[in-house]
Amino acid sequence: MKANVRGWCRSAAAMMLVLAFHPAQAQSGETEHVRLPGTHYDVVLEQAAGRHAMPPNADLMNAISIWLSLSFELPPATQPPNVRFAAPEAMLALRYRGVAADHWAVSGPADIMAVYDDESRTIYLREDWRGDTAADLSIVVHEMAHHLQNVASLRFPCNEAREKQAFEAQDQWLALFGKDLETEFGLDPLTLLVRTNCPL
């Protein structure tokens, strides 16, 4: 099964054209450019003031899906997730409704950044998400990992175990840009250990 996933991803990636993802026109002249390993996709981040929230485009979502499949041997998604914006309170309500499979925050409920809903196959992002930094896109990577787990009907002994792969993917994404979970989100190794291991 793993060999088939790898083979599919390599052949699919080989057929893709180069993607340059430009969330906004840069005013400061600062850009970050990364070729996603194992693919023909380029991610180019350009920060600009006053950018309005826009969901990540289909090409970027496809690139993230392929990269996750290559890097973590996750089966590729046949359909992309829905992406919606929501206030933290609405995402918290989803979480405690018992439908959402994933929610994580930096320091508490008010800081919920994203939720993935297994049932509707929807990624909910905070209304202030902009997508013009590696950290912002890493949130999408984290939730896309849950989407691939969901559509593949992967089973885990607990929700924390499911989080391990998503946080690893997020951290590897950040590493492509010379960043990590601790510096970008304050998630130190001990916190990650607690969040990614089943309670005793």
Which of 22-26, 51-55, 89-93 has the least mean pLDDT?
Answer: 22-26
Which of 34-38, 82-86, 106-110, 138-142 has the least mean pLDDT?
Answer: 106-110
Taking the domains of the chain in order of start, what are their residue ranges? 2-195
Indicate the average pLDDT of the chain. Answer: 79
71 DSSP 8-state letter: H
Position 52 pLDDT exceeds 80:
no
